[in-house]
Amino acid sequence: MFDSLRFTSVKLNIFSTLSFALIILVIIFADSIISNVSLHFDAFENVSSSHHHHRHRFDGRGFLVPPLKVTAGEKERVLHQPDNKIKPEELGLFEPSDLSTRFDSRVREFFSRNQCEVQVFMTWISPVDSFGEREFFGLESLFQTNPASCLIILSRTMDSTQGKTILDPLIRRGFRVRAMSPDLWALLNNTPAEGWLNDIKNGNKDPGEIPLAQNLSNLIRLAALYKYGGVYLDTDFILLKDFSGLRNAIGAQSIDVNGNWTRLNNAVLIFDKNHPLVYMFMEEFALTFDGNRWGHNGPYLVSRVVNRVAETGQFNFTVLPPMAFYPVDWTRVAGFFIRPADQVGARWVEAKIRQLSGSTYGVHLWNKQSSRFKIEEGSIIGRLISDHCVICSIRNSSSS
C-alpha cells in the first residue's frame, strides 16, 4: 500500500511539473504574438505616415527628388493603399492655363507661318532657372546644322517672360524657336493614353516614386510626334549635321558583337504624323506603366515594342546604329569633357573628331551622368560646341 501511495505521489509531481511548464510556455508564446503584432502595426503606421507626407519632395530649386527609402515589403504595402493619390503640387501639372488651352492653335500657327524644313520638339520639365548654358549650346548646334528647322520647347516654365528672354538671342537672329505650355488633355485625346491620364489624375493609378513630370515627359514626346509629326530631341544633345533626310527612325544605344541592337533609346525619335509605331508606344505606356522603375516607361519601353514588331516587317521604320546619336556610352562620356594631357591624348581627340564627322548626327551628353563635368578647353565636347555654335559664347561651364 505504501508503495502504491508513493507511486501515485510521484505521478502527481510529474503531472504538476509538466502542467506548470506548459502554462509557462503558453504565456510566453501569447506574449510574443501580441508583442510582434503591436510592433508590426506600429512599424506600418510609421511607414505609411512617412510615405504619405514624403513620397515626392522638392529640393531648393524646385526639382522633384526621390522619396525617403523604405524596405521592399513596406514599399509594396504602402504603394497599394487605396488612398494613395498624387501630391497637390503634381496636380498642378494637369490644370489648364490660358496658354495651355491655346496650345494646339499656337503650334499650328507657328508651323504654318514658317517654312519649316523639320518640325522639332523638346521637353523641359525643370524650373526655367535651370535652363543653362549647356542646354543653350544644344539649341545653337541644332540651328547651326539645321537652320531651316522650327523648334517648339514643350514647357510651362519656359513659356514665360524669363523663358523668352533666354531664347531671344536666337529669335533675334532669325531662328524659329518658341516655348509652349502643352495641353495634356488635347495631346492625349483619342489616344491609348487618354484613360491613363484620367486614372492618374483621379488617383485610380499609382504614379510611383519617380517624379511624375519625368514620366509625363516620356509620354508628351510621343503624343506630340503622333499628333504633328517631326523630330523629338532631348535637350542634352550637340547636333553635328543636317538630319532633315531622316524619316521614321529611332536610335540604338547599344549593339552586340553581331551588330544587332540590344537597347534602343527615346532621346531621339523621328516619325511621321499618326505613325502606327508611335501609337503602339503610347499603348505600351498606358498598359505597362510602372512609376517605380527608372527607364521602364522610356528607353525600355521603345525597346520592348520594337523587339516585338521588328520581325513582322509591318511598320515602316529604321533602327539607326549607335554612332548616329549615341556614339559614346554614358559610362565613358566623362572622357569627352577632358582636355588632352599630352600628344597621345591630342591625337585621340583628333581621331574622335574625325570619326564623329562621318556618320554621327548628334552626340548625346547623358546629362544625368555628365552635368557635373566641366567642358574643358580642347576637349571633344568643347571642340564640337565651338564648331557648331551660332552665338559662340562658350565658357568653361558645367550644367546649371
Q: Which residue has the higher pLDDT, 39 or 26?
A: 26
Mean pLDDT within 12-41: 46
pLDDT tens digits, 354-377:
999 999 999 999 998 999 999 999
* Residue 125, all three cell numbers: 520639365
* Per-residue pLDDT, 22: 52
* Residue 203, all three cell numbers: 488617383
Looking at every residue in the chain, the average pLDDT score rounds to 83
CATH number reported for the structural domain that contains residue 196 in this entry: 3.90.550.20
Residue 67 lies in a domain: no
* Per-residue pLDDT, 96: 80
pLDDT tens digits, 147-178:
999 999 999 999 999 999 999 999 999 999 99
pLDDT tens digits, 291-300:
999 999 999 9
Residue 312 lies in a domain: yes
Contact of 282 with 203, CB cutoff 8 Å: no
pLDDT tens digits, 46-99:
333 333 333 333 333 333 333 333 344 433 433 444 454 566 556 567 778 899
Residue 187 lies in a domain: yes
pLDDT at 179 over 60: yes
Q: Which residue has the higher pLDDT, 91 or 203?
A: 203
The range of the structural domain enclosing residue 213 comes to 98-322
Residue 260 lies in a domain: yes
Residue 384 lies in a domain: no
Helices within 175-237 (DSSP H only): 184-188, 194-201, 212-228
Residue 354 lies in a domain: no
pLDDT tens digits, 237-282:
999 999 999 999 999 999 999 999 999 999 999 999 999 999 999 9
pLDDT at 322 over 60: yes
Give, in order, the Cα–Cα distances in Å from 113 to each of 107, 164, 335: 10, 19, 43
Residue 351 lies in a domain: no
* Residue 59, all three cell numbers: 529640393
By residue count, the chain amounts to 400
Bridge pairing between strands 237-239 and 362-364: antiparallel
274: left (phi over 0), alpha (psi -120 to 50) or beta: left
pTM of the model: 0.77
Mean pLDDT within 303-316: 90
The total of structural domains in the chain comes to: 1
* Per-residue pLDDT, 14: 47
* Residue 10, all three cell numbers: 510521484
Residue 32 lies in a domain: no
